[in-house]
Amino acid sequence: MSEEPGRRRTIRDVAKAAGVSIATASNALNGMGRTNAETRERVRRIADEIGFRPNALARSLLTRRSHSIGIITNDTYGRLTLPMSAGVSEALVDHGVSAFLCATNNDPRLAQLHLEALLDKQVDGIIFTATRLDLTPPVDLTRLPIPVVYAFAIGPETAPTFIPDDAQGARLAVRHLQERGYRRILHITGQEDYLAARLRAEAYRDLAGEQAEVMFGAWSEEWGHEAVRRLISSGRPRPEAIFCGSDEIARGVIDSLRDHGLKVPEDVAVVGFDNWQVVAAQTRPPLTTVDMELKELGRRAGLAMLDLTRGLPVAPGITRLPCSLVTRRSCGLA
């Protein structure tokens, strides 16, 4: 009864088993053309029985849509990329679209290699993702015959770009502190040449008023220690709260405050940025922090890509997606 069990069933097999032509089989399965309801059912039942699944390669060759896209990232570490990729996949998988993940490590040769492989495979589009907003792709993506979407990276003005709303996130943090009565708020953050650092600092300055003070440094725990050390030794009046540019910095700050005999949040409240679980949940006390909603960001980028590949219009330029605040105990929540 069964022939070579290794071979995948093709539409020919379905057609033969149903006693119809290939065209009819195809029509019946796809609901196209004019097909007798009875025939349609029979074909579908048989296709199901013999386990027929259409060969996506053959289909793509004809329809010019491969139902696959490429994600190019400079990240090999994963903290940002994987949640975003998961979001992208989530948006796409229900439409049968899969994503190639290309980790370039920011190496132009590698990036070029990946890009060529993607184009050869006729991907429907490319999503570029980075570990910092103001990073240019290691390979030119502006002259491609397919749409390009930027996620957590700023592309050319004509390309749809999705980034977290850093300013809004910063305001969320500062307002939260202010609403709880903290007045003199300090901002300790990372390198000033990072766009995200500048955006957050600016938003902070707008709300913190006269006493605003920003300490730029590194994106590390160590900088958190160092900043607190400087603060204490400066002899200036102690701030009531500190808004940190990352959870790592916040962790350094909290640890250092404790070392100096200051209690969080009783003496100084602290807010972080990233909601990086392993860090935020393990500080003592656990850290109130801003979540950039990376998975949702990836999902939005995925949906935009979906529209683009269908020829639907997608707004070009930057879309800033709202951050959320995750409250834990470092600002005095019960």
Partner DNA sequence: ATCGCTTGATAAAAGCTTTTAGCAAAAAAT
Partner DNA sequence: ATTTTTTGCTAAAAGCTTTTATCAAGCGAT
10 binds, among DNA, a copy of itself, none (CB under 5 to 8 A by kind): DNA
- Considering only residues 7 to 46 of the shown chain, the ones binding DNA according to CB under 7 A are 7-8, 10-12, 19-24, 26-27, 29-30, 32-36, 39
Cis amide prior to 265 (ω within 30 degrees): yes
Minimum Å distance from CB 120 to DNA?
A: 9
**Residues β-bridged to residue 317:** 160
Distance between CA atoms of residues 142 and 145, nearest Å: 9
263 binds a copy of itself (CB under 8 A): no
String of contacts with DNA for each residue 61-100, x by CB under 7 A: xxx-------------------------------------
Assess 124 for contact with a copy of itself (CB under 8 A): no
Element (H, E) at 295: helix 294-309
Show Cβ contacts of residue 214 under 8 Å, excluding neighbours closer than 6 positions: 187, 189, 201, 204, 205
The tokens of 129 are what? 């993702």
Residues 6+ apart with CB under 8 A from 198: 192
Q: Which does 35 bind (CB under 5 to 8 A by kind): a copy of itself, DNA, none?
A: DNA
SS3 319: strand
Distances from the Cα of 220 to the Cαs of 102, 246, 249, 323, in angstroms?
Answer: 27, 8, 5, 22
Selected binder of DNA within 3, 44, 51, 54 (CB under 7 A): 54
Restricted to residues 270-289, the positions that interact with a copy of itself (CB under 8 A) are: 277-279, 282
Task: Give which of a copy of itself, DNA, none residue 34 binds (C-beta under 5 to 8 Å, depending on kind).
Answer: DNA
Residue 143 interacts with, from DNA, a copy of itself, none (CB under 5-8 Å by kind): none
Chain positions 43 to 72 lying near a copy of itself, rule: CB under 8 A, are 53-58, 60-61, 66-68, 70-71
Measured in whole angstroms, the distance separating CA 243 from the mean position of its chain's CA atoms is 24
Helices 247-259, 221-234: inter-axial angle, 10-degree rounding:
40
Among 94, 157, 179, 210, binds a copy of itself (CB under 8 A): 94
Residue 10's φ and ψ, nearest 5 degrees, are -110, 175
Helix (H, G, I), strand (E, B) or coil at 275: coil
Minimum CB distance to a copy of itself smaller for 75 or for 240: 75
Smallest gap from residue 292 Cβ to a copy of itself (A)? 14
* 218 touches a copy of itself by CB under 8 A: no
Interface with a copy of itself, residue 6, by CB under 8 A: yes
Does position 99 interact with a copy of itself (CB under 8 A)? The reply is yes
Contact call for residue 59 and DNA (CB under 7 A): yes
Question: Is residue 260 involved in binding a copy of itself (CB under 8 A)?
Answer: no
Q: Which of 98, 164, 94 is nearest to 129 (CA)?
A: 164
Q: For a copy of itself, which is the closer residue by CB, 128 or 182? A: 128
Kindly state whether residue 309 participates in binding a copy of itself, applying the rule CB under 8 A: no
What own/partner pairs with CB < 8 Å and gap ≥ 24 does 205-213 have?
Answer: 206/171, 207/171, 207/174, 207/175, 207/178, 208/174, 211/183, 211/184, 211/185, 212/185, 212/187, 213/186, 213/187
Binding site for a copy of itself (CB under 8 A): 6, 8, 53-58, 60-61, 66-68, 70-71, 75-79, 81-83, 85-86, 89-90, 93-94, 96-103, 105, 110, 113-114, 116-122, 145, 220-222, 248, 251-252, 255, 277-279, 282, 295
Binding site for DNA (CB under 7 A): 7-8, 10-12, 19-24, 26-27, 29-30, 32-36, 39, 52, 54-55, 58-59, 61-63
